[in-house]
Structure 1
């Protein structure tokens, strides 16, 4: 594969955009299909596809946000913190880890593959010029919401929600890791 300086520069400068800084227009079905097609091109040992995606748009986003607020009343969780991103962003895609029974491929490799899908989904959306963000929050871990609202099976769980829309406003930068503190060289 030939070098791609543009891709390298994108990766060196990419920044997520908070859900509160996402607006309309939203990517249409064709644009989302392209983004998701790129996202699932991740390492997947054994070709198990131990993940799936649930796209929430329009009315579905509102229904899910309402369910989060109702669930918060039952559990004492923070309704605002749980529902707000779903009310602000025009699209949310749940990346679902769906491990497959395998004698050859350990579940940890399947989990890492699902994480790869989430990061690739985020980066594909950003590379296509959309604003995007990856969050979890308590709704990702609430079993009732996962099962009743998103239809997850007992063995499935949410890796994260990727929020996508048109970027509005300025994106604040944040400090980046200091490689001298996290890299060990062994020559």
Structure 2
């Protein structure tokens, strides 16, 4: 069994995945575990939206509307959500708080997303976190039925890992470059 450090150090992004995907029931314990991230005042300022099947088409149409695309460009945009059988939209749900500013609530939601991506990877699924300008579009917000206090941070694209895939390999960092000591 891999240690936690080994599991995190071996994580990869998979921009190409197979049509296999975890079920809703398989996601529940992973989401519960990801929800244990540090959360000032325990606001739980996040939620995750599952997009499967035609819900991905709804998102693709929102991409096209947002971009004002036509013809082949529109077709290409509309197909983007179909690159994986499951998309998990990561939503920051900003709550009124005297103690916890909005940026910190967004950080909690991002922490949930990253932890969930690690858990999915550890469970054998291919995962890629996609962000971009569409996350701030009115058309995309409407496609996700977001409330005024909600911000879309991006999507985890989830599917099976292709046989023999070496995609997403990253070289290790030099930790001395990023870990400094305040004297």
Task: Answer whether TM exceeds 0.5 for this pair.
Answer: yes
Q: CA deviation at 1:157?
A: 0.9
> Equivalences for 1:158-169 in 2 at 5 Å?
158-168=152-162, 169=165
- Alignment length, in residue pairs? 179
Normalised by the length of structure 1, the TM-score is 0.84
Aligned mates of 1:158, 1:132 — CA distance in 2: 18
Judge which range, 170-179 or 29-38, deviates more: 170-179
Task: Report the CA distance between 1:153 and its aligned residue.
Answer: 1.7
Instruction: Give the TM-score taking structure 2 as reference length.
Output: 0.86
Whole-Å separation in 2 of the counterparts to 1:176 and 1:135: 22
Counterpart check, 1:12 vs 2:6: no
Are residue 180 (structure 1) and residue 171 (structure 2) matched?
no
Displacement of 1:83 in angstroms is 4.4
**Contact 1:82–1:138 under 8 Å retained in 2:** no
- The residue aligned with 1:95 is 90
Over aligned residues, Cα RMSD in angstroms? 2.3
2:104 matched residue in structure 1: 109
Measure the CA separation in 2 of the matches of 1:31 and 1:113.
23
For 1:179 and 1:85, locate their aligned partners in 2 and report how far apart those are by CA, in whole Å: 35
Cα 1:108–1:63 shift into 2, 3 Å: closer
What does 1:18-167 align with in structure 2 at a 5 Å threshold?
18=15, 21-73=16-68, 79=74, 82-146=77-141, 148-167=142-161
Q: CA deviation at 1:82?
A: 4.9
Consecutive unaligned residues in structure 2, runs of 5 or more: none
Separation in 2 of the partners of 1:9 and 1:100? 36
